[in-house]
Structure formats: C-alpha cells, structure tokens
C-alpha cells in the first residue's frame, strides 16, 4: 500500500516525525506540493494525506487507485466531499487537537492589549528607561482583566475552554445566543445575548465560530459602530468572519482600540490588504493552532484515523 503526504511541512517542519505511518505501507513525504504536481505524486497511491493541497473533482477523477484521504486539519473545504463520496473514497479530518493552543493564543492577544509587555520591552531596549526621569514609565493605560467583559461569538469547544480560562481570571462572560448552546450546563456564568448586544458589551470580542453564510462578515461596519471605543476584536477562527476594510477603517478612525488577528481572508495575504497598515492591529501568520503539542496530537490522530479505516471502522469521517 502506497501512502503520500502532500504538504507535511506545516504540520511537521522537522521537530516531529511520521514514523508511525510507515507500519501501514510505503510512505512518501513531501514538504510542499504544487497543484501541477498532485496527480503525479498521488497516481499510484491508495492513501493521501493533505493539509491545504486541494483535491477537487478534476484531480480526484484522475486518481483511480485512491481509497482514503486524510485531511491534516479540521476544515475540509480543500476536498470535493460530494465527489469523494460518489467514488467511495473515505475522507477523515482531525478535530479537537488544537483547543488549548488556540485558547493560549487568544489569551496572548488579550494580554498584549491589556499589559503591553512587548511595547514596553521594545521601549526599554531602545533606551527609554535608561533615560527616564522616573523609576518607571508607561506608554499607555494598563488594564486589569478582572471585571472586564469578554464577548464570545461561538461557544463551541474552543469558545467554552476560553470562557473557562477567562472566568478564572475574573472576566465577565457574554456570548451570542444559540438555542442549542443555551441549554448547556456550564461551570461558570455566561450571559446569553443577541449578537449585536455582545458587540456592544464586549471589552474583548473573540470570534470562535465556524464560517457559514450566517457568520460571513459577522464583524462589519454596522456592528463595529456599536462597540466601545476601548474594545478589541480578536479573530483566531476564519478570515472571512471579518469585513477587513470595515475593520481597518474602524481602527484607523479609532472607532475601536485594537485588533488581534491570526487569520485573514486570503492567506498569505496580498500586499494591499488594508489591515496590514491599520493602526493598533496585531497580526500573526495563522499560528494559533501550531504549538508542538498540538501538532503532535494532530499526527497521532491522523495515525489513529488511518488505522481505524484499515480495520473497517473509520473514525472522524466527514463524508
């Protein structure tokens, strides 16, 4: 049995290994694969693992030996699931592997804006403390998180873990009303409100919802106008949850105080993305999920998924 990984570098840049997959067959690992290389690299394979390399109808149609696709991520939009089902190809994904990593990254954004550690560190190393007339100095207002309000759009696995951490830090919690989530018994107090009210009340607004027609551009000019001028928007979900021009305008006009973004609508972004030059906009390159521990879990789940499939008991199947 031939197995190929098309884009291994993102999940494993060299600090982990794929050895556990070798017990299932002949394994070939590619760090990256261009679109024009996919068919050649997959033509003899029954098993294909991909993170972001697209396997659409046209490509799948030219891979008659393919029986299994393991997506090395949670999102499966890179696969034509309907056609894969028609072909009898099993497609699996990796859910739940990065929850702790993403929550930690959200907290890093929150702390960046409340404690300004990196800003003051930069100032100290530029000599500002050496030349200070006082024993200390601040470059802006520092704020305690205790008593502030965290608004959460999407109280799923990541949203609930974030709420637990925020509650432990003394933050108040307000979440967008969803009938299914409203019935959950949670070990902390959550105020359930309509989406617009969450925007209005939040000191920090975290987007942790899936991208759907209803959540596309859930952050838009109208809702940004409802927010506090001191509020911060944080997005570790999907880039299109935000109308990027509207957010850039709100930051530049100081309608809100800041934004912490780990995702953009196009990745890598174009040089003219309006958020790249927006005021007080902190951007990381889609790394919230990628702690070593999370990537190790991802590989372990990918191995378990393939093992279960070969035992005719597939798990995490998405088609």
CA distance readout (Å), 25 to 14, 47, 188, 298, 305: 21, 9, 48, 20, 15
Q: Tell me what pLDDT residue 40 has.
A: 97
- CA 54 – CA 45 distance, rounded (Å): 16
- CA 205 – CA 27 distance, rounded (Å): 44
From the list 87, 112, 177, 286, the catalytic residue is 286
Q: Tell me what pLDDT residue 188 has.
A: 87
Contact (Cβ atoms closer than 8 angstroms) between residue 186 and residue 240: no
Q: Tell me what pLDDT residue 185 has.
A: 72
From the list 37, 44, 222, 267, the catalytic residue is 267
Q: Tell me what pLDDT residue 274 has.
A: 98
Q: Tell me what pLDDT residue 186 has.
A: 80
Active site residue 267: yes
Q: Tell me what pLDDT residue 113 has.
A: 97
Active site residue 238: yes
- CA 294 – CA 161 distance, rounded (Å): 15
Q: Which residues are within 8 A (CB) of 139 and not within 5 positions of it... i.e. 6 or more apart? A: 116, 119, 120, 123
161-198 pLDDT, tens digit each: 999 999 999 999 999 976 555 556 788 899 999 999 99
2-17 pLDDT, tens digit each: 999 999 999 999 999 9
- CA 246 – CA 252 distance, rounded (Å): 10
Sign of dihedral through CA atoms 244, 263, 234, 252? negative
Q: Tell me what pLDDT residue 180 has.
A: 52
Q: All domains of the chain, ordered by start, with CATH?
A: 2-97+292-310 (3.40.50.720), 99-283 (3.40.50.720)
Q: Tell me what pLDDT residue 298 has.
A: 98
Q: Tell me what pLDDT residue 182 has.
A: 52
From the list 201, 238, 295, 297, the catalytic residue is 238
Which residue numbers in the chain have pLDDT < 50?
Answer: none
Q: Tell me what pLDDT residue 120 has.
A: 96
């Amino acid at each position: 049995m031939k197995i190929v990984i098309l884009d291994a570098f993102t999940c494993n840049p060299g600090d982990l290994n794929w050895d556990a997959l070798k017990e299932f067959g002949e394994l070939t690992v590619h760090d990256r694969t261009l679109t024009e290389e996919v068919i050649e690299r997959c033509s003899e394979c029954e098993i294909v693992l991909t993170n972001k390399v697209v396997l659409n109808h046209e490509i799948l149609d030219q891979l008659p030996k393919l029986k299994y696709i393991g997506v090395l991520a949670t999102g499966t939009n890179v696969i034509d699931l309907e056609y894969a089902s028609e072909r009898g190809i099993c497609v699996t994904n990796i859910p739940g592997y990065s929850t702790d990593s993403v929550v930690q990254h959200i907290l890093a954004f929150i702390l960046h804006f409340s404690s300004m550690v990196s800003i003051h560190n930069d100032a100290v190393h530029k000599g500002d403390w050496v030349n200070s007339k006082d024993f200390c100095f601040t470059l802006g207002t520092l704020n305690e998180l205790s008593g502030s309000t965290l608004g959460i759009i999407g109280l799923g696995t990541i949203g609930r873990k974030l709420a637990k951490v925020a509650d432990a830090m003394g933050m108040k919690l307000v979440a967008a009303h969803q009938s299914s989530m409203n019935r959950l018994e949670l070990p902390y107090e959550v105020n359930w409100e309509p989406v617009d009210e969450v925007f209005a009340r939040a000191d920090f607004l975290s987007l942790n919802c899936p991208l759907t027609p209803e959540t596309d551009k859930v952050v838009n000019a109208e809702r940004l106008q409802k927010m506090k001028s001191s509020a911060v928007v944080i997005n570790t979900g999907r880039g299109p949850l935000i109308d990027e021009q509207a957010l850039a305008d709100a930051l530049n006009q100081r309608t809100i105080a800041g934004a912490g973004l780990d995702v953009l609508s196009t990745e890598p972004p174009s040089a003219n993305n309006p958020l790249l030059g927006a005021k007080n906009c902190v951007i990381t390159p889609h790394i919230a999920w990628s702690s070593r521990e999370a990537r190790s879990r991802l590989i372990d789940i990918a191995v378990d998924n393939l093992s279960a499939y070969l035992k005719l008991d597939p798990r995490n199947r998405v088609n």
